[in-house]
């Protein structure tokens, strides 16, 4: 541990990191003291106001504290802190841009696609899910409710409870479910799914 009166920030980065990893609170304070101006200046260069800068400063040091054991080269703590800070600031700046963009209210679908690139398979899944929803909505209200209760409720609703909610005999649930699923399949076939 650091001795009393030892100027912590004057220790080598490697020694400070070792002391921090062994639980030295004074070493952690010394590390923060040694690099606080560097971290804060990077944050300010990204254009953060005083309140945002304080939040980002805390976020960077919290991440540094949590990830310090992962630091491979203890002598590279300065470069590592620059990287952590830049990463946090970049993400903060991106969030700011998105927030400003959406608050302006002047955007189109193309703007959204450009801003949030989507994996084509994700878009296909969304479109298929929408077609399934539409096929379900074309079913009778009783079939819609049965499918919702049996397949979209977590945990699944037991047949006895489905029968009670729909006003049916418990023994008829399997037969009616089969008919509803056949109708759903017909609707899906019409959609080409």
**Residue 67 in this model has a pLDDT that exceeds 80:** yes
Distance of CA 164 to the CA centre of its chain: 39
Last residue of a domain, one of 42, 77, 104: 104
User: 156 by DSSP, 3-state: which?
Assistant: coil
**Residue 123 in this model has a pLDDT that exceeds 70:** no
**78-115 pLDDT, tens digit each:** 888 988 898 888 888 888 877 776 666 665 556 555 55
Long-range Cβ contact pairs of 70-75 (< 8 A, separation 24 or more): 71/17, 74/13, 74/14, 74/17, 74/18, 75/12, 75/13, 75/14
**Residue 177 in this model has a pLDDT that exceeds 80:** yes
CATH code where residue 173 lies: 1.10.10.10
Residues 12-38, mean pLDDT to the nearest whole number = 89
CA dihedral 126, 131, 133, 134 (to 10 degrees): 140
Residues 95 and 133 in one domain: no
Q: How confident is the model at residue 127 (pLDDT cuts 50, 70, 90)?
A: confident
**Residue 66 in this model has a pLDDT that exceeds 70:** yes
**154-170 pLDDT, tens digit each:** 888 898 999 999 999 98
Sign of CA dihedral 52, 55, 56, 57: positive
User: 11 by DSSP, 3-state: which?
Assistant: coil
User: Alpha helices of 22-76 — where are they, by DSSP H?
Assistant: 25-45, 50-67
With respect to residue 113, please indicate whether it lies within any of the assigned structural domains.
no
Last residue of a domain, one of 104, 134, 158: 104
Containing domain of residue 185, as a range? Answer: 123-191
Residues 99 and 16 in one domain: yes
Residues 27-42, mean pLDDT to the nearest whole number = 90
Q: How far apart are CA 116 and CA 119, in angstroms?
A: 10
Residues 136 and 94 in one domain: no
Residue 7's pLDDT is 40
Mean pLDDT check: name the lowest of 60-74, 112-126, 146-160: 112-126
Cβ contacts of residue 118 below 8 Å, gap of 6+?
Answer: none
Count the domains in the chain. Answer: 2
């Amino acid at each position: 541990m650091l001795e009393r009166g030892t100027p912590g920030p004057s220790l080598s980065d490697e020694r400070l990191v070792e002391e921090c990893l062994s639980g030295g609170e004074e070493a952690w304070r010394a590390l923060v003291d040694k690099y606080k101006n560097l971290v804060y200046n990077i944050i300010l260069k990204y254009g953060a106001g005083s309140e945002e800068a304080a939040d980002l400063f805390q976020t960077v040091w919290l991440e540094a504290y949590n990830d310090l054991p992962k630091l491979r080269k203890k002598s590279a703590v300065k470069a590592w802190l620059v990287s952590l800070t830049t990463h946090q600031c970049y993400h903060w700046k991106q969030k700011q841009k998105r927030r400003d963009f959406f608050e302006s209210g002047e955007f189109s679908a193309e703007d959204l696609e450009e801003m949030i690139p989507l994996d084509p398979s994700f878009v296909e899944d969304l479109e298929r899910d929408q077609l399934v929803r539409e096929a379900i909505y074309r079913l009778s209200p009783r079939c819609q409710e049965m499918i919702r209760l049996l397949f979209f409720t977590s945990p699944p609703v037991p047949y006895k409870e489905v029968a009670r909610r729909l006003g049916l005999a418990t023994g008829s649930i399997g037969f009616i479910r089969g008919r509803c699923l056949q109708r759903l399949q017909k609707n899906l076939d019409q959609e080409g799914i």
